[in-house]
Homo-oligomer: A and B are copies of this chain.
Amino acid sequence: MTVRSHVPADPDYQSRVRESFAQQRVMGYLGATLAKIQPGYCEIHLPFRPELCQQDDYIHGGIVGTIADSAAGYAGFSLMPKDSSVLTVEYKLNLIAPARGDLLIAKGHVVKTGKTLVITQAEVGAMTNSEVTQCATMLQTLICLHQ
């Protein structure tokens, strides 16, 4: 995947994304934080918590998907115009290794921008003692709603 540099339509994209993230109450409830936002890129961190686990004591795949969905969604939203809003149309998530470790790191990238639809991808890594193992990859479609 070639990562191209993107020029944001809205110079205030940083505060617009941070404000929207702060309104996603589920991020606070899970313990996820917005670690980085750049044009076409977003990184979300989620420290391990036992109450997010499935039956084998890994973070549940749906929670992995939740931070990947938001990371890729805000990567896309960073390039959208000032008065727009964003919704996820769909995503596909492959869980490729157990999501265990100290911290999950979800990195969302924009693949293609269009006026209405934006295609993104995300990768999620699990970090233990500063070593990261990729645990999931996602391909996502967003829709930009213009006011």
Q: Which residues of A contact B (CB under 8 A)?
A: 1, 20-21, 23-26, 28-29, 50-56, 59-63, 65-70, 85, 87-97, 111-112, 116-117, 119, 121, 123, 134, 137, 139, 141, 143
Name the residue on B nearest A120 (C-beta).
Answer: B94
- Each complex incorporates copies of this chain amounting to 4
Contact B112 A97 (CB under 8 A): yes
The contact sample of 19 A-B pairs, CB cut-off 8 A, is A1-B123, A20-B55, A25-B51, A26-B59, A29-B52, A62-B62, A62-B65, A62-B70, A63-B66, A66-B66, A89-B117, A89-B141, A90-B92, A90-B93, A91-B93, A116-B116, A119-B137, A121-B137, A141-B141
Contact of A60 among B20, B66, B119, B141 (CB under 8 A): B66
Q: List residues of chain B with CB within 8 A of the CB of A25.
A: 50-53
Q: With contacts A65-B91, A116-B143 known, what are 15 further pairs, Cβ within 8 A? A: A1-B137, A21-B55, A26-B54, A28-B51, A55-B85, A60-B70, A62-B67, A62-B70, A89-B94, A90-B92, A90-B94, A96-B111, A96-B112, A119-B137, A121-B137
Contact of A89 among B28, B55, B95, B137 (CB under 8 A): B95
Name the residue on B nearest A3 (C-beta).
Answer: B1
Which of A63, A65, A87, A141 is the most central at the interface, judged by chain B CB atoms within 10 Å of its CB? Answer: A65
CA distance A96 to B117 in the complex (A): 9
